[in-house]
Amino acid sequence: MFKSVLIITCLSTVVISNSCKRSIAVEDQSLNWVRSSNLPSTGIAFKEYLGVNAFEWDVSSDVAHERIDQAKIKTVKAFGGIRHYLDWERIELKDGVFSFSPAHNGGWDYDAIYAEMKKAGKYVLIDLKTCPSWLLSSYPANQRDPENVPAPYGLDRSKPESYIKQARVGFQLAARYGSNTKVDTTLLLIDPTLRWRDDTRNIKKVGLNLVKYIECDNERDKWWKGDLAKQSPEEYAANLSAFYDGHLGKLGKGIGIKNADPNMIVVMGGLAEANPGFVEKMINWCAANRGKKPNGEINLCFDVINYHLYSNDAFKNSGNATKGMAPELSNLKSVANQFSAMAKKSAANIPVWVTETGYDIGEHTPQRAIKIGNKSSLITQADWNLRTSLLYARTGISKCIFYMLDNVDVNSWTQYSSSGFINPDRTKRPSADYILQSNKLLGEYHYQSSLKSDPIVDVYALNDKKMYVLTIPDEIGRTAGYNLNLGSAKQAVIYTLAVGQTQMNSRIVDTKNGIIQLEVTETPIFVEAK
């Protein structure tokens, strides 16, 4: 039977190092976020907009790091997938030797973590980041910071060969966790030593086919960190060229992700400053230093464009945020449009991802979700996070990943410190409840079109089924009536989000000549025709 579901909404960066992020101050004067009706649907499942940033300890046992904690992994499985912050030193504790299962730094079993995620049908984006101690030892003692540019001290940061150490890690990760089973095992640099008697020995493995995406570092435009940590677009492009394919294979065997697994998707590090101009300069570097493919396209050293942007009032306050804003009222949509246009014009229309976004619940941070009427900041956070996912699906961004699963400090005044989806005792916040429930109901559907902009009425499709999502795009507790036409349907199921539950509440109503009258609020609702 033909089904139709409607969602209605009302319109009106790791850890602490992200505290200095700024957003490009671009204002969308029209706030007309609805996709043009003549644009094709992306066909991207909604679950791709429900990712979360997480660490190995978010899925592993606190007392036995090599084991998966089933209670923790159950929470993580509520999301579409994870962006795994992987510190380089975890897998390469000593220069030139690698350990994964278990890792000699921390004892984590990355084989088990990634296998568990794949078994659950969840993607993993490995974000390889920070410099290991052995690399930092090349720096003067007073200049050692894990977030320094990933090259030994004194090397020319404009040359791909300066980043050969990091590109070697990329090869090792892609060889083990990618899909290529034909990797030359003599190129694998596995540490065979045992840490103690009866320790599990690391062994060489290739083509485990557990991971599809690897990201080259995080926020390499670290303007707040100074020259030791900040790369220019050209420097980062040189870095990526080594990481991607050993700078077209010129850096030798065992270097670069594509030389281990041509199918691995290489994601550029998310930009702290959401500026498409940074990527355009990277593209120009590729044109000058990597040339063109046989089809005439520029031979890029990344498969996905990636940026970070948090919805707040910075875009209208000269870059200074004072509070979070409802996603539809901020510059999220206008910046997304700029990146999409740039990708289409200059980068063969490769995908654009947002791998950090979200809201705090701390009362004093400039990224806080505000209390609205009788709604606590926790409920507003849940509303705004879900509406952020809906917005990015609507605008054609290919993936949205939230910052982050847990908190740094829920009482901190620093932005991004209290943006977690779970509490310190690992109980779920309403945001996690909303993600779980929306993923269950809508996760396999893809955005198709929008019928109205206020209230927002989105149409999602899955084969011959339709779902509708409705919400008010505002932040003042506004409501609105809407008559939804469900054609010949005699009845409809209305789904509403529910705090503390694993399923949405639902009720069946009769239509009147195919029409149902709905009250739409700033919390999305979902409707399915019977």
CATH of the domain at 243: 3.20.20
What does pTM read for this prediction? 0.93
**Whether residue 28 has pLDDT greater than 50:** no
- pLDDT tens for 50-85 read 999 999 999 999 999 999 999 999 999 999 999 999
- pLDDT tens for 213-253 read 999 999 999 999 999 999 999 999 999 999 999 999 999 99
What integer is the mean pLDDT of 289-309? 97
Which residues lie below 8 Å from residue 473, measured CB to CB, with a gap of 6+? 9, 10, 11, 12, 33, 326, 328, 329, 387, 453, 454, 455, 456, 522
Task: Tell me the backbone φ, ψ of residue 448, rounded to 5 degrees.
Answer: -115, -50
Closest CA to 340 of 331, 351, 329, 332: 351
Residue 398 lies in a domain: no
| pLDDT score at 17 | 38
Structure tokens, 321:
């945020």
**Whether residue 2 has pLDDT greater than 60:** no
Percent of the chain with pLDDT over 90: 90
Residue 61 lies in a domain: no
pLDDT band, very low/low/confident/very high, at 32 (cuts 50, 70, 90): very low
Residue 121 lies in a domain: yes
What is the Cα–Cα distance from 214 to 302, expressed in whole angstroms? 10
Q: Of 12-21, 211-220, 351-360, 363-372, which gets the smallest average pLDDT?
A: 12-21
What is the Cα–Cα distance from 60 to 56, expressed in whole angstroms? 6
What integer is the mean pLDDT of 490-508? 97
| pLDDT score at 16 | 37
Residues comprising the chain, all counted = 530
What integer is the mean pLDDT of 310-332? 95
Q: How many domains does the chain have?
A: 1
**Whether residue 14 has pLDDT greater than 90:** no
What integer is the mean pLDDT of 341-363? 97
What integer is the mean pLDDT of 351-379? 97
| pLDDT score at 29 | 33
pLDDT band, very low/low/confident/very high, at 454 (cuts 50, 70, 90): very high
Residue 365 lies in a domain: no
**Residues 106, 89: contact at Cβ < 8 Å?**
no
**Whether residue 88 has pLDDT greater than 90:** yes
E-strand ranges in 12-139 read 51-54, 81-87, 123-129
Residue 443 lies in a domain: no
What is the Cα–Cα distance from 149 to 130, expressed in whole angstroms? 8
What is the Cα–Cα distance from 230 to 241, expressed in whole angstroms? 17
What integer is the mean pLDDT of 483-512? 97
| pLDDT score at 227 | 95
Residue 254 lies in a domain: yes
Residue 208 lies in a domain: yes
| pLDDT score at 149 | 98
| pLDDT score at 41 | 66
Which residues lie below 8 Å from residue 269, measured CB to CB, with a gap of 6+? 127, 129, 215, 216, 217, 218, 219, 220, 236, 306
Structure tokens, 1:
């039977």
What integer is the mean pLDDT of 357-366? 96
Range of the domain at 280: 80-308
Residue 137 lies in a domain: yes
**Residues 511, 490: contact at Cβ < 8 Å?**
yes
Handedness of CA 291, 295, 301, 305 (dihedral sign): positive
| pLDDT score at 424 | 86
